[in-house]
Structure 1
Amino acid sequence: MTQDRQLAGSKAAALSALMGAGFPVPPGFVVTGTFRAEALAGAEAGEQELSLQAAARAAGPGPYAVRSSAVEEDLPGASFAGMYESYLNVAAVDLAAAVERCFASANAERVRAYEASLQSGAVGGSAGEKGGLDGVPGGGMAVLVQQMVDPVAAGVAFTANPLTGDRGETVLTAVPGLAESLVSGVETGDEWLAGAGRPRLVRGPGSVLSEERATTVIAAARRIAGYFGCPQDIEWAMDHSGNLLILQARPMTALPDPVQWEPPGKGAWIRNFRLGEWLPEPVTPLFLDWLVPRIDAGYNEAVRRSLGVDVPMRFGAVNGWYYVSPPTPRALPRLLFGGTARSLPYFYNSVARPLFDPAGADRTVLAALEHQWRTDCLPSYRTLAETAWPASATASLAELIGMVNAVAWKAGEYLWLFAATGGAAWKMELALARFWRRHLAPAPARRGTAAQRPGHGYQVLLGGLSPALPQRTPHAVYSIDWYHPTAGEHSGQDREPGGGPYPDNPAALPAAERRRAAEAACRAILKGTGRLARFESLLSVAQHYAMLREEQVRDFTLGWPLLRRCATEMGTRLRDRAIIGDPEDVYFLTLDVVRLDAPAQHAVVEARRKEWHRQRKLAAPLQLGKLPPLLGNTFDRLANTARSTTDLPAGALVGHPASPGRARGRVRIVDGPGDFGAFLPGEVLVAKATAPAWTPLFAAAVAVVTDGGTLAAHASLVAREYGIPAVVGTGNATQVLRTGDMVTVDGNAGTVEGEPLPGPLGS
């Protein structure tokens, strides 16, 4: 092979350079465009074939791989990946025909289209860059012939993270045998991620490579990047003896700037707080630009009416993910003393008092707020959603915008009453957990028969509370970003009333039985101690507000079917004016261009949709910046108080102990409704977060694990109703675990322990 790129093409020149530098490259030779042109101009075809076979014999025994090596291929601004033909397992006698077909592929229509896109600047490069393979036939083209390898594993290594742009990370993918299925997109394979330390398996069963062999490939890839001086896209293979072979190396194209997770402002920013609990992935542009501010405004006005003081929280998006910043301690004096005469007592009773005197908070403030929610907010919200529905199909664009504004504002009001009342559930739970820890947890060790012992953790007292399993709710959502269809749309119900309960879970009845037994055991232990009345009070309000929260969660999205219909109607009108190409494109606009005289938005929509899909693959931190001491310590105390033990297993994934019990099963990572059909009974549901539309999966799951959430999150409360263990707030379960892992979920300790799968190659 030769390192002359103009003669041998980019692929062959790069491999020749690597071979000369001592990297393992399969032996081979290059058929230049000049050689082919001379043959076509008059040289005997027989002589050409003899020359090819002689070169093949010098390279080693066949069969051979025949691949393109164009001058303009594998460049930083133009990869031409997959544009030309390749032929594998070619016998020596068939080389001439394969080489000729490979040359001929340079004139394929897809190659010309790609060149045109380069010249226009639409795909990499810049306008005015030379495209085309001009001159004599094949003049810009060579063909690389190499000895065919028989790999036990093969794949691709990127020496910079193609998703985040992080130049310090290497991403390695591997499949058994040849990598054709991986390169063509038919198979995804195992995926390893390596930063400064050992590589970590982030996707796939891990059956292709051992960690040792993955480390070998990654180290070689990084040396190649160092040799060329820029991030590389490397195809590799490993033979049955464990020898690594480099099949291709080219500069990475379209590498994004490194992803930064910087707070959008001063202070702490939380991803799963307020609206964030309902947003398990990045938000679409129109939701962020329109609905989030409108919901926030409705919320703040409702707070002002209740507390007599403004309690605004900043929100923003980081790499498309919603974050909110709670008030800092500096804002406390204004919150306490900056409002009306009722502000301080109202703030004290609704925010602080539930943590230590739940019954007092209920009596003075929260019960009245719940009454307001039941008698005013919820009925008016339902009436708005129902009365506007018939008119939405024929409404003008301005009327549709008005409907969206009205629903978003009402949802904001609802969210405040929901946050103040149902949102107090976790505070009341903390009070119950503290009582349990002080007066009940040690009791079984001291006295009482096994039948009298109240169980492993206080959470058993908050399970099996509902007289029936949750009903099917057409307005339930997977995410409150209105881009996503509601549960009713997925089931074909649209807005019709619920279709009955979800499938029975045999663990649900035992959950209620265990709760009743635990209640009886607690009463027996506390009888005669003077603490029974306190226990009854804590238990009563904690159980009531736990159920209230789930009831409020269910109807928070009453207006979402109407929002979705309004969005579809707006999108249809904009499509009819050729402003967008499809009604669904409306979600990738901003509010200022939702008008009939707006300029065409096709390019903007395409770019934003592409960016949104890229952002969906990012692992967004739960927190940016440092939480205020009061808020941060409260969440930590709740988790630690709830935990059945502080002696946590080494290497376990740790989160909040949300629903009691232990269960063993195989992991199923579920990103959204598209994955629901693959979920199997007895599997462990692992998700970023869950919302009411996820409830059908709880009927089949043996346990639940989530990245986000607290003890009062949807996953926690519903798991208790179904009597299955749950661990929430792990931060990165969807990144650390993988579908097929066998794990044990301990909902009492808040841990997830993995078990090794069958050994991969080289183990």
Structure 2
Amino acid sequence: MSAGPARPPRPHRAGPALVTLAEAHRYDADLLGTKAAALARLAAAGLPVPPGVVVTIAAGPDGWDADLLAAIDAMTGRDGMAGSHGTGDVHGTESIDGTDGTGRFDGELFAVRSSARDEDLAGASYAGLYDSYLDVDRAGLVEAVRRCLRSADGVEVAAYQRARQPIGTGAGTTAPPSAGAPATSGTAGTGPGGMGEMGDAAGPSGAGGAGGMAVLVQRMVRARAAGVAFTAHPLTGARDETVVNAVRGLGERLVSGAAVGDEWVVGNGTARCLRDTEHALDEADALRVAALAARVAALAEQPQDVEWALADGAEPVLLQARPMTALPEPATWVPPGPGSWMRNFRLGEWLPEPVTPLFGDWLLPRIEYGFLAAMRQRAGAAVRFPQGQVNGWYYTAHPRPPAVLAALARGRLRLLRYLWTVLFQAGRRPEHADRVLLGGLALHWRATFLPGYRAAVRAAEERVETASRAELVALVDEVGALAGTQMFWISAVGGAAWKMEGALAAYLRDRLGGRCADAVQWLLCGLPCGEARLAPYAVSSLDWFRPTLGELPAAPGGPDPDRRRRLVERRMRAEADCRSALADRPADLARFETLLAVARKYAVLRDEQGPLLTLGWPVLRRAVLGLGELARAAGVVDDPADAFFLTTAELAGSRPAQERVRHRRERWERQRRLSPPLTLGPPEKLAEKFLDATVEAVRTRSVVPDGAIVGHPASPGRATGPARLVRGPEDFARFAAGEVLVGQATAPAWTPLFARAAAVVTDGGTLAAHASLIAREYGIPAVVGAGDATARIRDGQLVTVDGGAGTVELDG
């Protein structure tokens, strides 16, 4: 097939201007582009690929149009109609030549899709950045191809190339959405790519126009269903599961994000339907699609992201295949020891991502040291809580009975009294716990410990810049241990608040039944705050690798005075309703007033104590970066921030560790994409029963809508809005007003987002978590402890959050 009068191809891209897809397997991606090269290989291997023609990278901008139409005529068996004229209509976008729809090419329609050298690579999908057109008739083909070629010069492509950075820098690498592309050319996020080595055929060429772009023209498949199949689970990395997403009709609604689609998980010869909003497939269909995808992955010898279509009465056909990007390694979640392990208990509520090596090796043990020392001083003996990491994620467990008995032997009645009061009396007789122990602890914290904590941090800030290496190490040890002592005070004093809230809720439910079902949550909303939530030492994660709020750009937002006024009014109405309902029962009313007063006292204490945990984080970070600068000068690392990915011994050594740091950063980024379970090992029945009793006392209704996510009712109210998945500070800027904040967990530096949020949903957390407290402060619904919300909710999906019932309903 002649290239016609086109301009001569560039020497390094020599080859024919046009090739049929059937013969294209003889050429590589440097001529065909990644997408067409992958499909050519699959077609040559006998997989069902719709016939097509490739306008190659050698074609240049002009001179190939007549040859293209001739090739299309030959492919469709209409050689004698090569001179026919059509409308030039491209469905789903504007008409290319403006005519009114007469003279179709015998009903034959085509898909015109980009196939750039830089597209669908294993490390960069360029998803949605180049134009594609569907349902193009014969007369519109040439102009559609030209538009495809011109899309290589788009501003979105240039921005994506600038934004690409090596994994592990902490910067986001998500492509910005394409502005105005008529049809996306792939799924966003876990994007598909070429076959095997095709994914590494070429990096970004940087060439504009047609310099790095081929175009694939294929016969349209009139699909009754279409979608995407992932031959490894995108969230867990499991290679023995295929996830099939489907919509009715063409798959463009799915890959563009306009529809969520059905979801099937296929493994061990069976198919499970997790979501059936479109009713696009039955089990047999899902198994057939998975089998096609498995053939693709076997040929590629790596997990694949496969676009497919299914016509009536036919087997599925293959539209695109590419390596899965951002795929986590297969993860197994084995408890680090005997017993039940929890991710959202103690420090876990402050760690919404895996821990970095230096935090796990140094600061975490120092925090534990300070906690245990304070407990020995105040309770007579310390009870150690086992800690461990699974796939980088922090887990902790309740102390084992032998450890508790050994501690009781040391602390005797003093420890027994402490444990009995903190663990049981606070939730049964809160006013007694306040009188005999907790009130005195609160006074000591405020009058003695807190002033000393502040003074020690100020002194550290004064000497950190000129400190020697030994002095920096001592500074970290001292401030880290003080943070652990603050953790003890939060646990002993502020930690009683949720138990007291449960006691108040259970009392109202017992005395009033459904008359004041949601009263307890409103009774504790809009209380006066202690420490400012937006202090410079607020953190997005307890891991000191993350910058503190004072290091981040100023974020808009803050408490709305009008909203806060309405919240206080709502709280006062709840008080009045409860008092009115109990007015004819003086003893019950007096008990209500007692429980309300003590619950509010400790809710305010918890609100004040929590943010102060990280009072020393700015100076701790400066100390580590100072040690990192010394390591850089010694040739151990290339950047002072690399220190966070070393152990203490490595940081003190002299051996180069650049490669070790790079591998650890990459592993940390992979682990961030996992969805860790909330619990590992057998359930802790006594603790679970105690927590469930408190949660159920607060929950306003027990009927769960079909398909809803169920968590803990953390802040009352009901709101609907588009979901926005936020993993860390890199996502803060894209969070818009009116969206529902969805994350693994939140921490104080996330507070500005609450001013813009319609509601909040977190995987982890309890009634005492940051998300619970701040949602109530801002008067927005919140559901915490939802388990796998970040895995089940998609970006932009409409959700309804009922913070009183603890449910999240998914729309579509």
Shorter-chain TM-score tier:
0.7 to 0.9
- Return the letter of the residue paired with 1:158: F
Matched AA of 1:663? A
| 669 and 152 in structure 1: CA distance in 2 versus 1, 3 angstrom threshold | farther
Among candidates 26, 32, 35, match of residue 50 of structure 2: 26
Instruction: Select which of 508, 514, 532 maps to 2:564.
Output: 508
CA distance in 2, matches of 1:52, 1:564: 62
Structure 2 residue matching 1:441: 3-state secondary structure: helix
Shift of 1:80: 10
Q: Distance in 1 between matches of 2:325 and 2:574?
A: 61
Structure 1 partner of 2:292 = 223
Q: Write the distance in 2 (CA, Å) between the matches of 1:440 and 1:601.
A: 65
Correspondence for 2:715: 659
For residue 24 of structure 1, what is the amino acid of its counterpart? P
Question: Residue 562 of structure 2: SS of its match in structure 1?
Answer: coil
- Given candidates 282, 290, 304, the residue that maps to 1:233 is 304
Q: 1:63 to 1:468 in 2, by over 3 A?
A: closer
Contact 2:715 2:775 in 1 (8 A): yes
CA distance in 2, matches of 1:655, 1:132: 46
State the alpha-carbon separation in 2 of the partners of residues 480 and 388 from structure 1: 19
**Are residues 161 and 740 of structure 1, via their aligned partners in 2, closer, same or farther at CA, if it must alter by over 3 Å?**
closer
- Is residue 484 of structure 1 aligned with residue 546 of structure 2? yes
- Counterpart position of 1:578: 635
Q: Which residue of 2 aligns with 1:450?
A: none
Alignment partner, residue 475 of structure 1: 537
- 1:290 shift after superposition: 1.0
Match of 2:803 in 1: 747
Match of 1:693 in 2: 749
Deviations 1:251-298 (A, max 9, x none): 879987521011111111110111101001111111111111111111
CA contact (8 A) 2:512 2:581 kept: yes
Q: Is the 8 A contact 2:232 2:239 kept in 1?
A: yes
3-state DSSP of counterpart to 2:666: helix
Q: Contact (CA 8 Å) 1:706, 1:729: kept in 2 or not?
A: yes
Change over 3 Å in CA distance of 1:79–1:554 after alignment to 2:
closer
User: What displacement does 1:68 show?
Assistant: 11
Change (3 A) 1:9 1:550: same
Distance 2:525 2:356 in 1: 36
Contact 1:653 1:753 in 2 (8 A): yes
Contact 2:237/2:327 (8 A) holds in 1: yes
Within the alignment, does 1:707 sit opposite 2:763 as a pair? yes
- Distance in structure 2 (CA, Å) of the matches to 1:547 and 1:354: 16
Distance 2:566 2:366 in 1: 43
Change beyond 3 A, Cα 1:468–1:441: farther
> Which of 431, 436, 456 pairs up with 1:384?
456
Q: Which residue of 1 aligns with 2:471?
A: 399
Aligned to 2:100: none
Q: Contact 2:50 / 2:221 at 8 angstroms: preserved in 1?
A: no
The within-5 A match list for 1:13-92 is 19=43, 23-27=47-51, 58-60=74-76
Contact between 2:348 and 2:394, CA under 8 Å: does it hold in 1?
Answer: yes
Q: What is the aligned partner in structure 1 of residue 378 from structure 2?
A: 306
> For the residues of structure 1 that align with 2:371 and 2:399, how far apart are their CA atoms?
15
Q: How does 1:258-273 map to 2 (within 5 A)?
A: 258-273=330-345
Offset at 1:600? Answer: 0.9
* Residues 1:465 and 2:527 are matched in the alignment: yes
Asked if structure 2 preserves the Cα contact closer than 8 Å seen for 1:159 and 1:171, the reply is yes
Which range moves more in the overlay, 670-679 or 405-414?
670-679
* CA separation of 1:357 and 1:334: change in aligned 2, threshold 3 A: farther
Distance 2:691 2:497 in 1: 13
* Residue of 540, 546, 559 corresponding to 2:616: 559
Deviations along 1:714-740, one digit per CA (max 9) or x if unpaired, are 222222222222221111222222333
1:157 is displaced (CA, Å) by: 4.0
* CA 583–345 in structure 1, closer or farther in 2 if over 3 Å, else same: same
2:606 equivalent to 1:549: yes
Question: Is the CA contact 1:3–1:14 (under 8 Å) kept in the aligned structure 2?
Answer: no
Asked if the contact 1:79–1:253 (Cα under 8 Å) also holds between the matched residues in 2, the reply is yes
CA distance in structure 1 between the aligned counterparts of 2:654 and 2:413, rounded to whole angstroms: 49
Q: Which amino acid aligns with 1:477?
A: V
1:358 correspondence with 2:430: yes
- Aligned counterpart, 2:626: 569
Contact 2:25 2:44 in 1 (8 A): no
CA distance in 1: counterparts of 2:716 and 2:736, whole angstroms: 22
1:55-454 counterparts in 2 under 5 A? 58-60=74-76, 147-149=217-219, 157-161=229-233, 164-171=236-243, 194-196=264-266, 197-198=271-272, 211-212=280-281, 219-226=288-295, 228=298, 232-236=303-307, 238=309, 245-247=317-319, 258-329=330-401, 331-442=403-514, 444=515, 454=516
Report whether the alignment pairs 1:534 with 2:591. yes
C-alpha contact (below 8 Å) 2:328/2:674 kept by paired residues: no
Per the alignment, do residues 650 and 752 of structure 1 end up closer, same or farther by CA in structure 2, a change over 3 Å counting? same
Asked whether the equivalents of residues 357 and 647 of structure 2 are also in contact (C-alpha less than 8 Å), the reply is yes
- Output one character per residue of 1:114-136: Cα deviation in whole Å (capped at 9) or x when no partner: xxxxxxxxxxxxxxxxx999xxx
- Distance (whole Å) between structure 2 residues aligned to residue 64 and residue 532 of structure 1: 74
CA distance in 2, matches of 1:65, 1:677: 32
Determine the C-alpha separation between the residues in 2 that align with 1:68 and 1:262: 43
2:809 match: secondary structure: strand
- 2:157: which partner in 1? none
How far is the alpha carbon of 1:652 from its aligned partner? 1.9
User: Partner amino acid for 2:540?
Assistant: Y
Alpha-carbon distance between aligned partners in 2 of 1:81 and 1:547, rounded to the nearest angstrom: 48
Unaligned runs of 5+ in 2: 1-19, 59-64, 79-109, 134-140, 150-199, 203-212
- Out of 736, 757, 777, the residue aligned to residue 721 of structure 1 is 777
Q: Distance in 2 between matches of 1:666 and 1:517?
A: 30
> In the TM superposition, what is the alpha-carbon distance from 1:673 to its structure 2 partner?
2.3
Give the whole-Å Cα distance in 1 for the aligned partners of 2:791 and 2:411: 45
When residues 215 and 189 of structure 1 are mapped into structure 2, their CA distance, relative to the original with a 3 A threshold, is farther
Q: Offset at 1:335?
A: 4.3
Aligned partner of residue 195 in structure 1, secondary structure: strand
State the alpha-carbon separation in 2 of the partners of residues 611 and 463 from structure 1: 41
Letter in 1 for 2:629: T
SS at match of 1:507: helix
Using the alignment, how far apart are the partners of 1:430 and 1:63 within structure 2?
60
Taking the aligned partners of 2:549 and 2:691, their CA distance within structure 1 comes to 31
3-state DSSP of counterpart to 1:665: strand
Match of 1:594 among 633, 645, 651: 651
Q: Distance in 2 between matches of 1:247 and 1:318?
A: 39
Deviates more, 1:715-724 or 1:315-324: 715-724
Partner of 1:648: 704
Paired residue secondary structure (2:552): helix
Q: Which amino acid aligns with 1:225?
A: A
Q: Say whether the 8 Å CA contact 1:469–1:502 is kept in structure 2.
A: no
* Structure 1 residues 655 and 232, CA gap change in structure 2 (3 angstroms): closer
Normalising to structure 2: TM-score of the pair?
0.71
Paired residue secondary structure (1:535): helix
Aligned residues: 666
Q: Which whole-Å CA distance do the structure 1 matches of 2:332 and 2:480 have between them?
A: 31
Deviates most, 394-403 or 323-332:
323-332
Q: Could you tell me which amino acid in structure 2 is paired with residue 583 of structure 1?
A: P
Distance 1:304 1:486, change over 3 A: same
CA distance in 2, matches of 1:598, 1:541: 56
The whole-number CA distance in structure 1 between the counterparts of 2:238 and 2:691 is 32
User: Partner letter of residue 569 of structure 1?
Assistant: G
